[in-house]
């Protein structure tokens, strides 16, 4: 079990540096896999309405608590507001659905999933709504943020933050936020190190969670040409050499590089051996030279870009 964590502002809560990602974890095995992850030492669970498996994540959490492996207070549960719920009246609706699905009475961190607002889809029509043939329905971020702040005041959310935001959006948000965003959640791996954005966000008091830490691995199965054309990080020569030097796997080297940069990691796997392996990253250290080598692998190669799959170019 790890106690390695980052302190969040303004609440002062501790966010574990290691978490478990639940995107694309198959619904029928999610409860068992989440239980395994908690048993393997993960204390943060990264969830979202959009992943379609919050009910099953909740079942895994319940089982682990009932088995006495962990208490609710020892866990850190993150979830995310989907794009179809940005209007102020839909934020508490979506949040309460997530809370009910997870079977919890509070969550530790709630994030705006994307700076993208799509037309509302009632639960009865489709849940989760996904991207589909969605129509845009612009809502200013300040409206959504004020509703997120209300959730903090209600005591049901301990921290709020944003995902897939750029520096400009962050600057704007910081200009009016009464409850400051505690976390910026963005794609980070050796091919997209996002160093400038991370430095800026950290300078503004936000902590960073990096997602898709293994780069192309998660996107090859989605048929992404960019991912298919890239050298898999698990076969990258410079990483191979560093891994051999430490008698660790490339997955562990990547995760270690991130946590040494004070970026929280949320690797996803459905394989118990890999789940345990990915958690075993706190008993060795990369040298300054090795950190520099991995920092220099930036291409940059962005794999999760809504320009490609939803025609919404938020990074253009």
Report the binding-site residues for substrate: 113
**Residue 272 contacts by C-beta under 8 Å, 6 or more apart in sequence?**
36, 40
Q: Does 144 bind ligand NAD (CB under 6 A)?
A: no
Site string for ligand NAD, 77-116 (x = CB under 6 A): ------------------------------------x---
Give the position of tokens 């839909």: 90
Angle CA 217–219–223, to nearest 5: 125
Q: Does 185 bind ligand NAD (CB under 6 A)?
A: yes
Q: Does 22 bind ligand NAD (CB under 6 A)?
A: yes
| Pick 59 or 209: Cβ nearer ligand NAD | 209
For the question of residue 106 being annotated catalytic, the response is: no
Q: Does 33 bind ligand NAD (CB under 6 A)?
A: no
CB of 55 to ligand NAD, least distance (A): 16
| Pick 154 or 306: Cβ nearer ligand NAD | 306
Contact present, 53 and 111 (Cβ < 8 Å): no
- From candidates 30, 59, 218, 224, binder to ligand NAD by CB under 6 A: 218
Q: Does 163 bind ligand NAD (CB under 6 A)?
A: yes
Q: Does 211 bind ligand NAD (CB under 6 A)?
A: yes
Q: Does 266 bind ligand NAD (CB under 6 A)?
A: yes
Residue 223 CB neighbours (<10 A): 8
Q: Does 269 bind ligand NAD (CB under 6 A)?
A: yes
Q: Does 42 bind ligand NAD (CB under 6 A)?
A: no
Compute the distance between CA of residue 53 and CA of residue 31 in angstroms, rounded to an integer.
9
Compute the distance between CA of residue 63 and CA of residue 57 in angstroms, rounded to an integer.
10
Which of these ranges, 62-70, 171-179, 209-217, 307-315, lies near ligand NAD under the rule CB under 6 A?
A: 209-217
Contact present, 194 and 188 (Cβ < 8 Å): yes
Sheet holding 44-46, edge to edge: 19-21, 44-46, 76-81, 107-112, 157-163, 183-187, 207-211, 263-265
CB of 266 to ligand NAD, least distance (A): 5
Compute the distance between CA of residue 82 and CA of residue 96 in angstroms, rounded to an integer.
13
Compute the distance between CA of residue 106 and CA of residue 152 in angstroms, rounded to an integer.
10
Question: Active site residue: 51, 85, 191, 219, which one?
Answer: 51
Cis bond upstream, residue 128 (ω within 30): yes
Contact present, 39 and 17 (Cβ < 8 Å): no
Tokens of 252: 């562990």
- Residue numbers in the known binding site are 113
State the Rg of the chain over Cα: 19
Which of these ranges, 151-159, 173-181, 196-204, 270-278, lies near ligand NAD under the rule CB under 6 A?
A: 270-278
Active site members: 51
Site residues, ligand NAD (CB under 6 A): 21-24, 46, 113, 163-164, 185, 211-214, 217-218, 234, 249, 251, 266-269, 274, 277-278, 304
């Amino acid at each position: 079990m790890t106690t390695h964590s980052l302190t969040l502002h303004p609440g002062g809560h501790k966010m574990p540096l290691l978490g478990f990602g639940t995107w694309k974890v198959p619904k029928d095995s999610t409860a068992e896999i989440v239980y395994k992850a908690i048993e393997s030492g993960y204390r943060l669970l990264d969830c979202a309405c959009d992943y379609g498996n919050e009910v099953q994540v909740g079942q895994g959490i319940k089982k682990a608590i009932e088995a006495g492996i962990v208490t609710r207070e020892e866990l850190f549960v993150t979830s995310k507001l989907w794009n179809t719920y940005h209007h102020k009246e839909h934020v508490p609706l979506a949040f309460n659905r997530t809370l009910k699905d997870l079977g919890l009475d509070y969550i530790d961190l709630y994030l705006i999933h994307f700076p993208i607002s799509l037309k509302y889809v009632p639960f009865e029509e489709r849940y989760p709504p996904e991207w589909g043939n969605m129509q845009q329905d612009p809502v200013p971020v300040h409206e959504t943020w004020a509703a997120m702040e209300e959730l903090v005041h209600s005591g049901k959310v301990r921290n709020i933050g944003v995902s897939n935001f750029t520096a400009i959006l962050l600057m704007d948000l910081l200009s009016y936020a009464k409850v400051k965003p505690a976390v910026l959640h963005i794609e980070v791996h050796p091919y997209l190190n996002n160093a400038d954005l991370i430095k800026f966000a950290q300078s503004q008091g936000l902590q960073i969670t990096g997602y898709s830490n293994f780069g192309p691995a998660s996107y090859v199965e989605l048929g992404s040409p960019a991912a298919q054309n890239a050298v898999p990080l698990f076969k990258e020569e410079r990483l191979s050499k560093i891994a051999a030097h430490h008698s660790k796997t490339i997955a562990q080297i990547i995760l270690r590089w991130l946590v040494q940069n004070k970026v929280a990691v949320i690797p996803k796997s459905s394989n118990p051996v890999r789940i345990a392996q990915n958690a075993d990253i706190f008993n060795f250290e990369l040298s300054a030279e090795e950190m520099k080598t991995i920092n220099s692998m930036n291409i940059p190669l962005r794999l999760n870009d809504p320009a490609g799959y939803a025609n919404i170019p938020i990074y253009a």
